[in-house]
Amino acid sequence: MLREEVVDGALALDAVGRLEEQRELALYQTWVDLLSAKTELEKMRCVRLAYAGREATGEFVRLKLKPDTDGSALVGQDVDLVVAGQGQGAP
């Protein structure tokens, strides 16, 4: 009788361990899905705007948009510039 209780207890602990692993895997998969969705959203938010000139002041660059360009998408947004030959976020 005691042996059966020990075996039953071990099986229960094993089941609990498997359940915990499944929960961890589900949490990890949710995290991966969230990061993928965030990446896709950032790609969709990418906007190209034509500019007529630029003015550098210290570490900042002010781009002067062409007169027929609507820059309202930039209001209140951080901007990541793509520099030819250097990729996104180049220093």
pLDDT in tens, 32-76: 999 999 999 888 777 788 889 889 898 888 888 898 888 887 888
Q: Give the integer Cα–Cα distance in Å for 40 and 25.
A: 23
Tell me the whole-structure pTM to 2 decimals: 0.46
State the number of CA atoms in the 13 A half-sphere of 38 facing the CB: 6
